[in-house]
Amino acid sequence: MQKMLSRVRKCVQDYEMISEGDRIAVGVSGGKDSLATLRVMHELSRFYPKKFEVLALTVDMGYEEMDFSKLEALCADLGIEYHRIKTDIKTVVFDVRKEENPCSLCANMRRGALYSEAVRLGCKKVAYGHHMDDAVNTFIMSLVYEGRISCFTPVTYLSRTDITLIRPMLYTTEAEIAGFVKKYELPVVHNPCPANGITKRNTAAEILSMMRAERADIREKIVGSMQRLPLKGWGLPEETEKE
């Protein structure tokens, strides 16, 4: 826990993600990344100098086989406010629209449902579980498929909803998160989506895996270059860069 907390706290401080009195909604899909984010952010809220509150929000897309009862029980045990947002996203995307490339529409609908509920609950910030591998994969996807140097940002303000997105797990790797979830026996919920695992992001992950075979620290090198360039939204204060 201490290693994960240390990395998350540094990321939060580097990008000034948390302010005093924040009410932060963690988007919890049931996957390992969002579960780890919820657990670590809750732990961080117990001692962080700036007091903040963590809520868990799950967008239920309508898959009957997805059971969130263990996730709800975890939140109850930790004293975390939990809300499940019931939607018909699965029906709209696959049964009504019959989308050949469903990921974009699905993601937009999920974000819309999540942000609306966050606003209703008085949350000004939403935390996502994107980690270092996600950032590097997005960078590779933009370079290979779009021919541009781009990536999501650690902190993103959405003017339409007056919500700020934060990504406090960016200094952690997917492998570290997987180990954390296993150690603390967090209740992962299987994703039954038929499009799961066949996206361009998986191709980018394969490219990254090949590069890591040649250079183990390639992820850290790429993220470091994004911060030093800096890529928009990734720049660090001078005192942080000198550390």
pTM over 0.85: yes
Q: Which amino acid is at 63?
A: Y
Number of domains comprising the chain: 1
Tens-digit pLDDT profile for residues 129-178: 999 999 999 999 999 889 999 999 999 999 999 999 999 999 999 999 99
Tokens 């657990």 appear where? 39
Distance (Å, whole) CA 156 – CA 150 = 14
- Within a 10 A sphere around the Cβ of 5, how many other Cβ atoms? 15
With contact defined as beta carbons under 8 Å apart, do 113 and 89 qualify?
A: yes
Instruction: Give the domain extent around 41.
Output: 2-241
Confidence tier at 242 by pLDDT (50, 70, 90): very low
Mapped onto helix, strand or coil, the DSSP state of residue 23 is: strand
In tens, the pLDDT along 176-232 reads 999 999 999 999 998 887 766 556 778 888 899 999 999 999 999 999 999 998 999
Q: Give the DSSP H/E element, type plus range, for residue 60.
A: strand 52-60
Q: Cα–chain-centroid distance for residue 132?
A: 10
What CATH number corresponds to the domain at position 144? 3.40.50.620
Structural contact between residues 137 and 204, judged by C-beta atoms closer than 8 angstroms: yes
- Going by the DSSP 8-state scheme, the letter that residue 37 receives in this structure is H
Q: Using one digit for the tens of pLDDT, what is the confidence trace for 26-47? A: 999 999 999 999 999 999 999 9
* Alpha-carbon gap, residue 168 to 129, rounded angstroms: 7
Q: Which pLDDT does position 95 carry in this prediction?
A: 76
Contact indicator for 167, 127 with CB cutoff of 8 Å: yes
